Amino acid sequence: MSGNLDEKLQMISAYVDGKRDEIVQFLLEFISINSVTYNEGEAIRFLASKMREFGFDEVRVDPAGNCVGRVGHGRCVLLYDAHADTVEIGDPADWGMDDPLKAEIVDDVIRGRGAVDDKGCLTGITFAGRAIKELGLEGDFTLWVSGSISEEDVEGSCVKAMMEENPDIKPDYVLVAESSTNRLMRGHKGRALIRITVPGKAAHASAAWRGDNALIKAIPIMQRIDAFNDFVEDPFLGRGTIEVTKIDCKTPSLNTIPGEAVITCDRRISCGETAEELLAEVGAFFEDIPGVKAEIDEETVTTYTGYKIRAVDYFPSWVMAEDDPYIQAGAACFEGLFGHRPEITKWDFCTNATQLCGRAGIPAMGYGPGDETLCHGTQDKVPIGELLDAVKFYAALPLFVEQL
Ligand SMILES: [Zn+2]
């Protein structure tokens, strides 16, 4: 590492440590703004006003409702994304708190809804933009910082809308800021919801021979799904899975044999299988049963701005090679700041990287403060020390990536 770069890392560390109270205050205020999925408007307005206050060069809220801010205008384009929405609070009594939106600080850990997923990360990437501006670290890079919406319901779909609504933003590299206990993430499995419709013929149960019971016809299909284990194994992500998660049927009364049954399956994807390949795979389970159809679930969701998004329930996997230059730039940045190599591993859940890397093919990495196993629970919390380290990492990363 050059002496000059080393000095910049020390500047960043000192700056972030000096901003401790402001960073904590920002996160407490951010948590206090309820932003359950499809109701992120107030949180997005808060974020946009803070980006402006922090001296970002440009701040936009796109028609879908995502907030995007820019720092710098150099050659190498980075996009940092974290989502502004949270899951519901549930019953405050389960938290042992009066109000999970009024976060508490115990032993330097901030606890409240969204602390670990994903407002700590969003606070981190926003302060990284501020640090770059205030320390004059703008180099040959452009950093876009996005607070995206609706990740908890349709991961990937709102960042897809964001890229469509902001066609001038063409990132060379993406960082998905979701909790990872400050480990470097280079992939995760994808998922799909597959719906299999089994036709039948309704008839009175007292004269079943007049009909064709769709539920009974569905049984061998479910047994074949259950027995199937012929998944290609990815050396990093492991094997895919398929599980039957629901069966519905169309029947007008409980003394009628049903005229249609619908089997829903959760398919975990580890080797980049396309939607067509997944449908061909399940097709083998019913090739001897006429009229059965399989499809990937689709829905239209409406964001808080009234924007409609067609969301397909297919979220591809993504993997970056450990020796990829971008992943190695992340590792060098981490080592430069903290004096040792980071752990490089994978997430067990799906993030917006499914769209940005899995579909769009942009090189990605993941990094964020807080224990990712606490997401959505009542122990939703982030240690302040990890949060400050993450701000340092986010602020320093462009200095390494611009050299690629
Ligand atoms: Zn999240």
* pLDDT 10s digits, 20-48: 999 999 999 999 999 999 999 999 999 99
Q: Tell me how far CA of residue 163 lies from CA of 2, 156, 243, 368, 395, in angstroms.
A: 35, 11, 33, 22, 23
- Is 371 noted as a catalytic residue in this protein? no
The residue type of 183 is R
3-state helix, strand, coil in the chain (%, to 5): 35, 25, 35
If you measure from the C-alpha of residue 352 to the centroid of ligand 1, how many angstroms do you get, rounded to a whole number? 9
Q: Give residue for tokens 């398929």.
A: 242
pLDDT at 14 over 70: yes
Q: Residues 85, 118, 178, 273: which is the catalytic one?
A: 85
Q: How far, rounded to the nearest angstrom, does the alpha carbon of residue 38 sit from its chain's CA centroid?
A: 15
**What residue spans of 275-383 are helical by DSSP H?**
275-283, 325-338, 353
If you measure from the C-alpha of residue 37 to the centroid of ligand 1, how many angstroms do you get, rounded to a whole number? 11
Cα–Cα dist 273/234, whole Å: 11
Cα–Cα dist 280/388, whole Å: 47
Backbone angle region of 143, left / alpha / beta, with phi > 0 → left and psi within -120 to 50 → alpha: beta
If you measure from the C-alpha of residue 138 to the centroid of ligand 1, how many angstroms do you get, rounded to a whole number? 29
- C-alpha angle with apex 329: 391 to 356, nearest 5 degrees? 75
The mean pLDDT of 160-183, rounded to a whole number, is 97
**What residue spans of 179-324 are helical by DSSP H?**
214-227, 275-283
Q: Could you tell me the pLDDT band of residue 297, with boundaries at 50, 70 and 90? A: confident
Comparing CA positions, the residue from 349, 1, 392 lying closest to residue 185 is: 349
pLDDT digits (tens, 9 = 90+) for 221-268: 999 999 999 998 899 999 999 999 999 998 889 999 999 999 999 999
The pTM is what? 0.91
Q: Could you tell me the pLDDT band of residue 205, with boundaries at 50, 70 and 90? A: very high
pLDDT of the residue at 2: 57
When mean pLDDT is compared across 78-87, 137-146, 149-158, 178-187, the lowest value belongs to 149-158
Dihedral sign from CA coordinates of 372, 374, 377, 378: negative
If you measure from the C-alpha of residue 84 to the centroid of ligand 1, how many angstroms do you get, rounded to a whole number? 9
Cα–Cα dist 361/172, whole Å: 10
If you measure from the C-alpha of residue 279 to the centroid of ligand 1, how many angstroms do you get, rounded to a whole number? 28
| Structural domains of the chain, ranges and CATH numbers in brackets | 3-188+317-401 (3.40.630.10), 190-302 (3.30.70.360)
Cα–Cα dist 180/316, whole Å: 20
pLDDT at 272 over 80: no
- Is 152 noted as a catalytic residue in this protein? no
Cα–Cα dist 309/64, whole Å: 8
Q: What is the mean pLDDT of the chain?
A: 95
pLDDT at 371 over 60: yes
pLDDT at 126 over 60: yes
Q: Residues 151, 273, 386, 389: which is the catalytic one?
A: 151
If you measure from the C-alpha of residue 26 to the centroid of ligand 1, how many angstroms do you get, rounded to a whole number? 19
**Residues whose CB falls within 8 Å of the CB of residue 219, separated by 6 or more in sequence, listed in order:** none
